[in-house]
Amino acid sequence: MSTATSPVRHRADLGEMDADSRAYMALQPPPPATPPSPEAAREGMRRARPFNQPDLPHVACVREYQVPGPGGTIPVRYYRGVSTLTDEALPVQVYFHGGGWVIGDLDSHDWVCRAVANAANSAVVSVDYRLAPENTFPAAYDDAVAATKWVAANARLLNIDPSRISVGGDSAGGNLAATVAIALRDEGKIKLRAQILTYPIVDLTFEYDHRFEKGVALNNGGMRDFIDKYVPDVSQRRDPRCSPLFAQTLKGLPPALVILAGYDPLYDEGEAYAARLKNEGVAVTMSRYPGQMHGFVSRPKLLPKSLDAIADIANFMTAHQ
Contact 75, 66 (CB under 8 A): yes
Contact 250, 202 (CB under 8 A): no
Active-site hit among 171, 243, 298, 306 = 171
- What pLDDT digit, counting tens, does each position of 89-125 carry? 999 999 999 999 999 999 999 999 999 999 999 999 9
Active-site hit among 225, 264, 268, 312 = 264
In the residue annotation, 308 being an active-site residue is answered as no
In the residue annotation, 294 being an active-site residue is answered as yes
Nearest 5 degrees, angle CA 102-CA 107-CA 108? 50
- What pLDDT digit, counting tens, does each position of 219-230 carry? 999 999 999 999
Please, which residues have CB within 8 angstroms of residue 71's CB and are 6 or more apart in sequence?
130, 135, 139, 142, 143
In the residue annotation, 58 being an active-site residue is answered as no
Domains (range + CATH), the chain:
19-319 (3.40.50.1820)
pLDDT of residue 13: 86
Position 146, amino acid:
A
Q: Which of 155, 195, 161, 149 is nearest to 175 (CA)?
A: 195
pLDDT of residue 2: 47
Measure CA 230 to chain center.
Answer: 15
pLDDT of residue 153: 98
Burial of 258 (C-beta count, 10 Å sphere; 0-12/13-18/19+): buried
Active-site hit among 142, 294, 298, 306 = 294
Termini Cα distance of the chain: 33
| pTM for the structure as a whole | 0.97
